[in-house]
Structure 1
Amino acid sequence: MSQSSTQNRQWLLASRPHGAPTTDNFRLETTSIPEPADGQLLLRTIWLSLDPYMRGRMSDAPSYSPPVEIGAVMVGGTVSRVEKSNHPDYQPGEWVLGYSGWQDYDVSDGSGLVKLGTDPEHPSWSLGVLGMPGFTAYMGLLDIGQPKSGETLVVAAATGPVGATVGQIGKLKGCRVVGVAGGAEKCRHAVEVLGFDQCVDHHAGDFAEQLKQACPQGIDIYYENVGGKVFDAVLPLLNTAARVPVCGLVSGYNATDLPPGPDRLGLLMGTILKKRIRMQGFIINQDYGYRIAEFQQEMGRWVQEGKIHYREQVTDELENAPQALIGLLEGKNFGKVVIRVANNNL
């Protein structure tokens, strides 16, 4: 079913998942298109971003943001066009970056919207390399990781939108960059397209040994967005004064219990102490929102100059959003996952 000019499709959270989400946790409904009041504008979604944080928002466990309520529209970043406007600052046809969620249409008073002009060259990139994932990579590496020329940087999920950008920024700063990815094809992409020095397949039976061989001088910076067995292999390789920015732990987002095996908390804390390691979590908009202009200027220049490469995984049609998110959480994506909700024109 394609986007309609008379109806609004909405994906709602039908139930909270226990473990990995299933399609039963979502419900598709169709409603009438809302009318904007004075001071409001009607947005039509063209692109929808799918990101790992959405799994956390489906849960009602305590977190840094409130959960999606049962029966509410699923959250998500969007690139939209202004269809109607009763707002003095917006005109029909303009493109905006916003947070309309998993639906065709949304009414906004303009709060939180970012103007993208009337004819952006790559509008969906504002959901990726020029948006939240790129911003996460930029601030986490440069502010917490503080890379220095000649250091070894290891990046998990190396071909995802955050990891790919982290590794490329690391190369721009003179680091030796080792990626970790799932499968030979992703590892080839990391080296041949993104310019990483090496990439290790975490599916390999001797993954920990391969990572050790790839980092003969140890690890100075580990950009953490996966956790699990990847971090287990990284921990003994961290150098004194290593830095570990933590932006995500996707390997555990579907977990319902603590991981099996011995308690490794003592090992972790002992390593942090003895090697004087800096490990810091961050939430990009809450911690660094005031530095967005700096990121936009620098990243925009790098992308324009061809210094940062970017790959999208595009899925057509809003109906396919639940399955695309499930695949993302299973690591089946190759690049930034976006839903093309509609063409530019109805």
Structure 2
Amino acid sequence: MDPSRRGVLGSALFSVALTIPAWQDTVRRLEDVQTGRSNRIGFAEVDAVTAMTEKLSELDDMFGGRHARPMAAAFLVNTVAPHLRADAPDDVRKSMLSATADLLYLTGYMAVDEGLHGLAQRYCTKALEMAGAAGDHLTYCTTLRGMSLQAVDLGHGTQALRLADAAAAASPAAGPRMRAFLAGQQAHSYAVSGDRRNALRLISEAEAAMEQAESRAKAFGSYDTSSLAYHVAQVQHGLGDVAGSVRNLQESSRLRHGVYRRTRVRYDSLLAERQLEVGHLEAACATWDRVLDDYPLIQSGRADERVTVMKSRLRPHLRNATARSTYERARELSASSTAR
């Protein structure tokens, strides 16, 4: 293997790239553009960016944003940026802008996972710019929806609602699965904003759209019945129905298939917090123990936050042996995480 080719990506990212079919044949073209030996790109370069984005997304889901974002940022700066400056036919240029928008959104999502919210917004704003220039409505709407999710998780209900509504308005011809994806986020944002009527209306729309989507041949997409149950739970919690939220988070967990570690940590943490909220201490500890099984395997600021919340919620219950055992395990694992 030519060591100089590692300079295109960096050694860690190059080892990831080797799992992409025909990647070594593509590296020469990437390097030619990066070093100025070629000033023209084609669909092969677009395909390479798309394939790398998919691999980085897998790493993010498995190991968390702190693990994957530095590689994504290096790929953006060292490989994608020269592609954007290179000559290309109009159709290739639009496709490269679209592929770059996807990568920028993913990198922004990783920054959210690290707790770097200002940086995440800058990545997402650039993703919107690229998607708009490419005429890529799917990435444009997905990015707005992701920004709404960031806002609602930070407690900014009004901003979350504005972004969720903008995402839905930008996709008037969305298919049923995409409509469910967007309406679920709108419903969550309305619930957090205290608008019960619109929250219930939109979650009903999401349920109807998902029923329509599921009745068709299975389509590619990450929004499924598990995701919908999660959104129903979030709406219920926002409207004060904590017990209903627990039931739907449990249903979301039951429906999950092949969900990555970081998502499991996030969803199960919410379930445990709400189980405790309704007074089910030992059930909450059992759920938190599942969280702690996954926690050492990911590098995620949001996971760190959830474990911090876990310890604070358990501290008043340390006379209970089960709670004390889970608390001590969380304390030890979070100390190990800080030392990494």
The bucket for the TM-score relative to the shorter chain is: under 0.3
Q: Which has the higher strand share?
A: 1
Q: TM-score, normalized by length of structure 2? A: 0.26
Q: TM-score, normalized by length of structure 1? A: 0.25
